[in-house]
């Protein structure tokens, strides 16, 4: 196909690529430039909108020197990382079990994983608010088992946030893992068994490395949004656990400090740039093209 595309073909391509491209440039990319600009402004409570474009880096200096904000950043990254590992530990066996199930059963098993994702996120977190409360089902169970006397209240602790993230993001972990495990060539495992490898050894040297792209994609799909999570720390976490998404929300809605909220957003985006770029590369490879 060395020939130059004919005019109607080029026209068709412009008609296909043009509208979504223009939309995303205007409503997705341009806003980031505005946020970046406003993050160098200052709060002006009497103005509407409450922003004075002063061109100072004061917001950044403040965020990076205030222990509260630095803590919020670090604890967001830590909580998201721990929750991602926990999600992987639960999601991997599930994805593996689904991939090993009879082919006729796989669609229904997969659909059961996807269904909660279609069900309201807010409502799924609300469900845990009831379950984890002091007189909720989980505490009743813990009391019935009488493990350690009074179990205390899980709601409001960091564990509640981990649980919320694992629960809410599990489908995002299982789906890419399943996609990677399903493609796995079974004859490799049979060959390993024939050559005397124990199942555990075969898993470590064949299944796990070959499913690595799925592991990375799944972890990124959980980690990146979890860092900026707001609903989960707000509804399940306590006052002592700071996450940066909640800080941004409060700066914006409670303190109406738009420039500071913008600077928080810019710093969050910078911290997530590397994982987002990695995810982009994985996906772009899937889409092919040059």
Partner 1 sequence: MKRFPLAVLAFGYAFLYLPIATVIAYSFNESRLVTVWSGFSTKWWSALFANEAMIDAALLSLRIAFVNACAATVLGTLAGIALARHPRFAGRSIFVALVIAPLVMPEVIMGVSMLLLFVGLERHIGWPERGFATIAIAHITFSMAYVAVVVQARLADFDRSLEEAAMDLGARPFAVFRSITLPLIAPALVSGWLLAFTLSLDDLILTQFVSGAASQTLPMAVYSSVRLGLNPQINVIATIVIAISTVGLVASALLLRRKRRA
The distance of closest approach from Cβ of residue 1 to partner 1 in the complex, given in angstroms and rounded to an integer, is 9
Q: Can you read off the two tokens belonging to residue 182? A: 């399903």
Q: Per this entry, what is the length of the chain?
A: 290
Q: Which residues contact 199 (CB under 8 A, 6 or more apart)?
A: 193
Residue closer to partner 1, measured from CB, 58 or 117:
117
- DSSP string of 130-197, one letter each residue: HHHSTTSHHHHHHHHHTSSS-----TBSHHHHHHHHHHHHHHHHHHHHHHHHHTS-HHHHHHHHHTT-
The distance of closest approach from Cβ of residue 94 to partner 1 in the complex, given in angstroms and rounded to an integer, is 4
Residue closer to partner 1, measured from CB, 135 or 149:
135
The distance of closest approach from Cβ of residue 220 to partner 1 in the complex, given in angstroms and rounded to an integer, is 7
Nearest to 211 by CA among 186, 175, 184: 184
Residue whose entry in the numeric block shows the structure tokens 């990254």: 77
Residue closer to partner 1, measured from CB, 58 or 129:
129
Residue closer to partner 1, measured from CB, 69 or 249:
249
The distance of closest approach from Cβ of residue 136 to partner 1 in the complex, given in angstroms and rounded to an integer, is 5
DSSP H or E stretch at residue 43:
strand 42-43
- d(CA 263, CA 146) in angstroms, rounded, equals 48
The distance of closest approach from Cβ of residue 81 to partner 1 in the complex, given in angstroms and rounded to an integer, is 15
């Amino acid at each position: 196909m060395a020939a130059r595309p004919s005019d109607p073909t080029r026209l068709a391509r412009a008609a296909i690529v043009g509208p979504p491209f223009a939309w995303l440039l205007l409503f997705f990319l341009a806003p980031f430039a505005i946020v970046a600009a406003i993050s160098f402004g200052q709060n002006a409570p009497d103005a509407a909108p409450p922003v004075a474009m002063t061109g100072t880096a004061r917001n950044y200096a403040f965020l990076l020197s205030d222990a509260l904000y630095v803590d919020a950043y670090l604890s967001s990254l830590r909580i998201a990382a721990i929750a991602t590992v926990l999600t992987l530990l639960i999601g991997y066996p599930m994805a593996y079990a689904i991939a090993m199930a009879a082919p006729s059963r796989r669609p229904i098993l997969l659909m059961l994983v996807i269904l909660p994702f279609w069900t309201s996120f807010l409502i799924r977190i609300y469900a845990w608010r009831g379950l984890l409360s002091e007189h909720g089902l989980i505490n009743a169970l813990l009391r019935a088992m009488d493990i350690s006397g009074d179990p205390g209240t899980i709601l409001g602790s960091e564990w509640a946030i981990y649980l919320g993230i694992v629960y809410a993001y599990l489908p995002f972990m299982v789906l890419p893992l399943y996609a990677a495990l399903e493609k796995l060539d079974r004859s490799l495992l049979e060959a390993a068994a024939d050559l005397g490898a124990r199942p555990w050894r075969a898993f470590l040297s064949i299944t796990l490395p070959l499913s690595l792209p799925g592991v990375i994609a799944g972890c990124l799909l959980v980690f990146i949004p979890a860092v900026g999570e707001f609903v989960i720390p707000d509804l399940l976490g306590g006052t002592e656990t700071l996450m940066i998404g909640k800080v941004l929300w409060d700066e914006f809605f409670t303190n109406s400090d738009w420039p500071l909220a913008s600077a928080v957003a810019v710093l969050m985006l910078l911290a997530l740039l590397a994982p987002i770029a990695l995810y982009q590369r994985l996906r772009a490879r899937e889409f092919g093209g040059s």
